[in-house]
Amino acid sequence: MMHVYDMLKHWLENASRKRLLYLCHKNADADAIGSAFVLRNRFRGDIGAPECINRVGKTLCKNLEIDVIIDPDVREYDHILVVDTSNPAQLNNPPLKSYAVIDHHATSELRKGAEIFINQRETSTAEIIFKILRGWKSPLTQKDALALVAGVITDTGHLKHATSRTFYNLGRMLSAGRINYRKVLGIISSTPDDPEMRSEILRSASQMRIHRIMGFTVVCSKLREYTDAAASALVSLGADLAIVGTDDDGVVRLSIRSRRELTSNGLNLGELMSSLGRELGGSGGGHTAAAGLEAEGDVDELIEICLKTVAEHLTTKL
């Protein structure tokens, strides 16, 4: 029986003879962009993402000269490889026909209909791509390694949520690509250069509400944008869990981040937000300690619902 990695290679070889798109999730991050970039280097095609690319993703694109099509029309492509994405809402629900998926999230709503589906419980999609390349015996260039290492670092919260396997994979990437770890850190520096982003992050701290739940400090805030960066910053400041929301013309987006102590005790934000998103008629998902939710409604009400859901989980599970 053909191994799934060989099946993917055969699928990509056929797809690259026509119009092939590597499709990342909206607000595409370094893990999604880097993973798509490494595969594109081998099979040609376009890289696309709905709506926008996040700050670190943009920095990676600038350093590696990666062209990303924003809001690509999937109908113009014969084949789609969905990268680092767990549900169609993260792609703005495009009409997917011939598509394959490579992802590492705990839950996935894209399996049904996928011609190839690779989902492995690694801490980043970049690690899955690295394993696939090793299976193909495809050597890693310096640019490949930089893209994948950046994906690993950012998706693990600068290794705060890394496992022993993450460090093992990371070491092999650095060695195979012969790159300097400090160089990657310099590219994906956690300090934002944009003054407006820094102002928004500081504003999130100044107006946050603090709750004590089961001995943990949970904070809530809302902003115009940059909710991901703000939620991560609030956890760095000392919160055990942060919920930051924004309202975009009636569509509410929440970013949730937590400390490792909570995930080590059974909290899985990705699963929790995936379930809550469905209940609210929207979408949600993500990682164990970093997740998001999108639904129509009032931002204050949805923050309260999310807070209540988290509180119930902490009360019953921990």
Q: What is the 3-state secondary structure (H, E, C) of the chain?
A: CCCHHHHHHHHHHHHCCCCEEEECCCCECHHHHHHHHHHHHHHCCEEEECCCECHHHHHHHHHHCCCEEECCCHHHCCEEEEECCCCHHHHCCCCCCCEEEEECCCCCCCCCCCCEEEECCCCCHHHHHHHHHHHHCCCCCHHHHHHHHHHHHHHCCCCCCCCHHHHHHHHHHHHHHCCCHHHHHHHCCCCCCCHHHHHHHHHHHHCCEEEEECCEEEEEEECCCCHHHHHHHHHHHCCCEEEEEEEECCEEEEEEEECHHHHHCCCCHHHHHHHHHHHCCCEEEECCCEEEEEEECCHHHHHHHHHHHHHHHHHHHC
Q: How confident is the model at residue 224 (pLDDT cuts 50, 70, 90)?
A: confident
Lookup: tokens for 44: 């040609």
Select from 278, 273, 224, 227 the least CA-distant residue to 249: 224
pLDDT above 80 (res 152): yes
| Radius of gyration of the chain measured on its C-alpha atoms | 19
What's the pLDDT tens digit per position in 159-203?
A: 888 899 999 999 999 999 999 898 888 888 755 567 888 888 899
Do residues 257 and 232 lie in contact, with contact meaning Cβ atoms separated by under 8 Å?
yes
Residues 6+ away with beta carbon under 8 Å from 111: 101, 117, 119
| Burial state string for 192-228 with b = 16 or more CB within 10 A and e = fewer than 16 | beeeebeebbebbeeebeebebeebbbbbbbbeebbb
Q: Looking at residue 2, what is its pLDDT? A: 60
What's the rounded Cα separation, in Å, for the pair 143 and 135? 19
- How far from each other are the two terminal CA atoms of the chain, in whole angstroms? 44
What's the pLDDT tens digit per position in 10-31?
A: 999 999 999 999 999 988 999 9
What's the pLDDT tens digit per position in 233-276?
A: 999 999 999 999 999 888 899 999 999 888 877 888 988 998 99
Q: Looking at residue 1, what is its pLDDT? A: 52
Q: Looking at residue 196, what is its pLDDT? A: 82
Domains with residue ranges and CATH for the chain: 4-187 (3.90.1640.10), 195-317 (3.10.310.40)
Q: Looking at residue 198, what is its pLDDT? A: 85
How would you class 172 by CB atoms within 10 Å of its CB: exposed for 0-12, middle for 13-18, buried for 19 or more?
middle
